Amino acid sequence: MKIVCLDGYTTNPGDLSWEPVKKLGEFVCYDRTKPEDVIERAKDADIILTNKVVIKQPQIDKLPNLKYITTLATGYNVVDVEYARKKRIDVSNAPDYSTKAVAQHTFAFILEIMSKIKLHSDSVYQGDWIRSDDFCYWKSPIIDLAGKTIGIIGYGKIGKEVAKIAKAFDMKVKTVKRGRPYETDPDIDFCSLEELLKESDIVSLHCPATTETTGMVNSDFLSKMKSSAILINMARGVVVNEKDVAFALNNNIISYFCGDVIEKEPMSPDCPLLVAEHTLITPHIAWASVESRKRLIEITANNITSFIKGKPINLVN
């Protein structure tokens, strides 16, 4: 089996080992692949690994040896899974490798806003504490999480992990009640979206990008939130209308926006959020802890092993 990884750099820039995959066949790994180079690089591949490189019908039709695609991610929108199914090409993803890391990153945002660690540390190093007349001071209100309400939109594995951490902080947790039944949890308030937006101090997005959720966070959505509320996007950039969020921030409709994802990645210089008030943005790194990336490689190797044995796992098509 020839295994070609089209964009391995973000998964493993050199601090980890590809050995779990290497031992499964002839392995070629490219750090990055431009769209025009996909066919040439993957022309002999039986198996393709991709993170963000698009594999749709035009590519699939020109890769006669291709039998299996596994994404170096949980998301798989870069692959035309339906067309792959028609061509009898199995497609798998890598679920649950970064759940704890993404939940941790969510609370890194929250704690920075509530405690203002960087603001006060910078103040100390600028000499403010040396010049202080008192044994302590604060440059911004410090806020308890206990008793605050977090509204979680997208109550999958990551959403549940965020809820678990929130409960450890003695927060109230709301999530949106859908048509399907939920497990009983007396500590979670399953409610309407309107109620969640109205009552939440923090609204945290952990939903997939679907037809229903694309552009969901718009001016109408934002107008239903508390003016003191924090919005956190840990889902996908397309879930948020960036112009509407920037307007809401600049006009005190909401108080803060935190995001690890944006609509166009890498970021465009004209992204509205770059010039909006009260934002914290990280470059899509919530998933990227050393431990998570190591698990990602291990899951990918298991996906390939199972496919070779004729019993593919984590199939999405």
Residue 266: is the preceding peptide bond cis (ω within 30°)?
A: yes
**Kind plus residue range of the DSSP H or E element containing 166:** helix 157-168
Superfamily name and number for 2-95+290-308: NAD(P)-binding Rossmann-like Domain (3.40.50.720)
Would you say the CATH fold of 99-281 matches that of 2-95+290-308?
yes
284 labelled catalytic = yes
- 265 catalytic? Reply is yes
What's the pLDDT at 178?
Answer: 73
Sheet strands side by side (includes 172-176): 188-191, 172-176, 149-153, 202-205, 230-233, 256-259, 279-281
Which pLDDT score, from 0 to 100, does residue 48 have? 98
Tell the residue number behind the tokens 């307007």, with chain if given.
Answer: 247
How far apart (Å, rounded) are the C-alpha atoms in residues 311 and 299? 15
The CATH superfamily label for domain 99-281 reads NAD(P)-binding Rossmann-like Domain (3.40.50.720)
Annotated active-site residue in 236, 263, 293, 295: 236
Give the phi and the psi of residue 164 in degrees, each rounded to 5: -65, -40
| Amino acid 179: pLDDT | 58
State how far the Cα of 234 lies from the Cα of 128, in Å rounded to an integer.
35
Catalytic residue among 40, 82, 194, 265: 265
CA angle 311, 316, 317 (to 5 degrees): 85
What does pTM read for this prediction? 0.94
Rounded to the nearest angstrom, the gap between the alpha carbon of residue 153 and the centroid of all alpha carbons in its chain is: 13
pLDDT for 185? 79
Please give the pLDDT value at position 186: 84
What whole-number distance in Å separates Cα of residue 111 and Cα of residue 17?
33
Cβ neighbours of residue 221 closer than 8 Å, sequence gap 6 or more: 197
pLDDT given at position 182: 53
Catalytic residue among 195, 199, 284, 298: 284
**Contact of 61 with 39, CB cutoff 8 Å:** no
Taking the C-alpha atoms of residue 91 and residue 67, their distance in angstroms, rounded to an integer, is 9
The pLDDT score that the predictor gives to residue 183 is 58
Question: pLDDT tens digits for the chain (317 residues)?
Answer: 999 999 999 999 999 999 999 999 999 999 999 999 999 999 999 999 999 999 999 999 999 999 999 999 998 999 999 999 999 999 999 999 999 999 999 999 999 999 999 999 999 999 999 999 999 999 999 999 999 999 999 999 999 999 999 999 999 999 998 755 555 678 899 999 999 999 999 999 999 989 999 999 999 999 999 999 999 999 999 999 999 999 999 999 999 999 999 999 999 999 999 999 999 999 999 999 999 999 999 999 999 999 999 999 999 99
Q: What is the distance, to the nearest Å, from the Cα of residue 95 to the centroid of all Cα atoms in its chain?
A: 12
Q: Can you give the residue ranges of every domain in the chain? A: 2-95+290-308, 99-281
Amino acid found at 102:
V
Question: Which DSSP state fits 317?
Answer: -
Taking the C-alpha atoms of residue 27 and residue 42, their distance in angstroms, rounded to an integer, is 11
Stretch (H or E) spanning 53: none
